[in-house]
Amino acid sequence: MSLYRGMDKAAIDAAYNNSGAIGGAEARDRIIAEYTARTKALDAKATPKRDLAYGKAPRQRLDFYAAGPSGAPTLAFIHGGYWRSTDKENWGFVAGGPLAHGINVANIEYTLAPANRIDGIIAEVKQALAWLRANLAALGGDPDRLYVSGHSAGGHLTAMVVGEKGVKGALPISGVFDMAPMRLCSMNADFRLDEDEAKRTSPMLHLPAKAPPQIVAVGGGELPEFIRQSRDYAAAWIGSGLKGRLLEIGTYNHFNVLDELADPDGEIAVAARDLVAGKV
């Protein structure tokens, strides 16, 4: 029985199984462990301000990496993990690229599913951005130059908050922009999406009349559904008259595409630099 774009539930599960595409859960866990080690190495040099609380819940916290000069722009980064796994400590390594371009990085954590619904996670990210706007000056950043990026689930969350007050641009990476397949896949046992929430939390269905620029990035070697979702969302964004572009990168998969943000010369790090400079 077809549920979404000619796919039944098993086909949807396979179409969004990023771990399966790289060899399974063990391969994914090795990559996450490597990312964690890279984060520890960067932290030893960059000495971020750790575990700044933007709310009262245990996971409502962020790490702030200062680029150096006072008044620098800030890129808020939202981690992935299908809204239900990983911590900010796994992903801080991505700050390396933006820092080299004089961009502060705020690495945001949030309460995971199933303890939190998708609506609640979006609300927490908005809360984190509001906290940043109020505290950037004290942290040495420019509160008028706040940008948002995120990977996978974080890419979806980025697109959901691009219209928030004070956000000057967005860079979603490998995101999900139509949540319908998330409601129909096995992972929904954790998400608990109903039809209304799936529609309400789909960036594709809520393109704003006015918004800052957005660069939609995806690896050219990712699962076809992730490439299609990014292409469709970027096309809809641009087609509605909003400023932005699609950045489809080489043969990178869903995981190693982040190397292009962590590397100062990587295409996503350069895109972040261009976004902050207004070159979209």
Q: What would the pLDDT profile of 242-263 be if each residue is shown by its tens digit? A: 999 999 999 999 999 999 999 9
Average pLDDT of the segment spanning 146-169: 98
Paired residues of 248 in beta bridges: 218
Give the amino acid at 250.
G
Please tell me the predicted confidence (pLDDT) of residue 1: 83
Average pLDDT of the segment spanning 232-249: 98
- Say how far apart CA 74 and CA 88 lie, in whole Å: 17
Please tell me the predicted confidence (pLDDT) of residue 79: 98
259 belongs to a structural domain: yes
Average pLDDT of the segment spanning 70-77: 97
User: What's the mean per-residue pLDDT of the chain?
Assistant: 98
236 belongs to a structural domain: yes
- CATH assignment at residue 230: 3.40.50.1820
The 10s digit of each residue's pLDDT in 124-136 is 999 999 999 999 9
Residue 254 carries which DSSP code? T
Average pLDDT of the segment spanning 204-227: 98
54 belongs to a structural domain: yes
Please tell me the predicted confidence (pLDDT) of residue 69: 85
191 belongs to a structural domain: yes
Number of structural domains the chain divides into: 1
4 belongs to a structural domain: no
- Say how far apart CA 220 and CA 201 lie, in whole Å: 25
Average pLDDT of the segment spanning 177-202: 98
Average pLDDT of the segment spanning 96-124: 98
1 belongs to a structural domain: no
pLDDT band at 91 (very low <50, low <70, confident <90, very high): very high
Any idea how long the chain is? 280
**Residues of the chain with pLDDT > 70: what percent?**
100
Distances in whole angstroms, Cα of residue 201 to Cα of each of 6, 15, 104, 161, 243: 22, 20, 28, 11, 22
- DSSP-derived pairing of the beta strands 141-151 and 104-108: unpaired
Average pLDDT of the segment spanning 223-245: 98
Q: Look up tokens 């981690």; give the residue.
A: 79
137 belongs to a structural domain: yes
- Residue 36's domain spans which residues? 9-277
